[in-house]
Amino acid sequence: MKERRMVNTSSTVTCQVKVRAEPSRTTLLGHAHMKEAIGRHSNMKYRNLGKSGLRVSCLGLGTWVTFGSQITDEMAESVMTLAYDSGVNLFDTAEVYASGRAETTLGNILKKKGWRRSSYVVTTKIYWGGQAETERGLSRKHIIEGLRGSLARLQLDYVDIVFANRSDINAPMEEIVRAMTFVIDQGMAMYWGTSRWNAVEIMEAYSIARQFNLVPPVCEQAEYHYFQRDKVELHLPELYHKIGVGAMTWSPLAGGLLTGKYNDGVPESSRAAMKGYAWLKDRLHSDEGKKQLSKIKDLHLLADRLNCTAAQLAIGTLTHTHTHTQTHPHTHTHTNTLYIHYTLNDLFIRNTCAI
């Protein structure tokens, strides 16, 4: 183990975390196909998802809050088109987003655009599908029926990855793994992953899969931004090296906090002002939230020096730091996508760390 300087804007002091030493030359040669590479037709970088063979863009597009709710279908189509044309090949959604309308919007756009199905990756998440007891959780019944519902809304024959959107203490782990293996064997999904699971739960799923010759999870979807870093930087790397589980991260802008939109209050059109998001407004008004807002101003000053936005700096820094992660912001503007044309050097990474 050795120390590596990491990015941190949530503290006024330099942050250091323990990470594994670089793999040996033999290991690198054995996994040469997993290296990050620039796409043939864009400046987007692509990485293997965990230690699977699936190549995904290091930046994906999420649909939480926005699709089917906060923005129009026309705007959603414009965002998706810009993302796809910029090299983004990963689109993330969930059965619970806007009560299924996000999946419907995403599916309608994909059908209208007529892009080759083999040219992009669609992921969805299963847990909250309805009000009935049998329409929630990770029972075999809901995993199978919930995914069928998602496929109908998406107008797709399969999704590339289906995520278990939370762990479920009421469902035996073996039942979950067997159900995920079943939907993969049936051609409803290519891979499965976890979302907001802890390391112990992921290891249990992996062990059961190996014990009964089932399909193990390929990645964990975790929150990751300047103010939420421990899981991705300290816990998931260990799982990646031990069992090959990668990371797909969400909320790189901390729910919009890092954009600066909340520096002077809560705008009427913002997420924190929406019905059902009082928790976000409460977080902004908390003592910790006020401290974070003050640190964000320093981030904006550095972004000005770089001639970019704070959002571009935040996303670019996260993807620069970890080569086994993919980041998908939930966005309705085009500026975040343009970060892919901007390269951060180590000097500015260190400057960001010192904020």
**Per-residue DSSP letters for 283-298?**
HHHSHHHHHHHHHHHH
Would the pLDDT of 196 be above 90?
yes
Nearest to 121 by CA among 321, 326, 354, 302: 326
Locate the domains of the chain by residue range: 2-119+218-353
Q: Residues near 142 by Cβ (< 8 Å), separated by ≥ 6?
A: 126, 129, 134, 135, 136
Would the pLDDT of 97 be above 80?
yes
List the catalytic residues: 97
Would the pLDDT of 337 be above 70?
no
Cα separation, 55 vs 48, in Å, equals: 5
What's the CATH number for 2-119+218-353?
3.20.20.100
pLDDT reported for residue 325:
63
204-254 pLDDT, tens digit per residue, is 999 999 999 999 999 999 999 888 889 999 999 999 999 999 999 998 888
Cα separation, 218 vs 159, in Å, equals: 14
Would the pLDDT of 197 be above 50?
yes
CB 160 within 8 A of CB 124: no
Nearest to 150 by CA among 93, 205, 65, 194: 93
Mean per-residue pLDDT, 86-95: 97
CA 49 to chain centre: 11
Q: 279 falls in which pLDDT band (50, 70, 90)?
A: confident
The residue type of 283 is: R
Higher pLDDT, 273 or 8: 273
Would the pLDDT of 178 be above 90?
yes
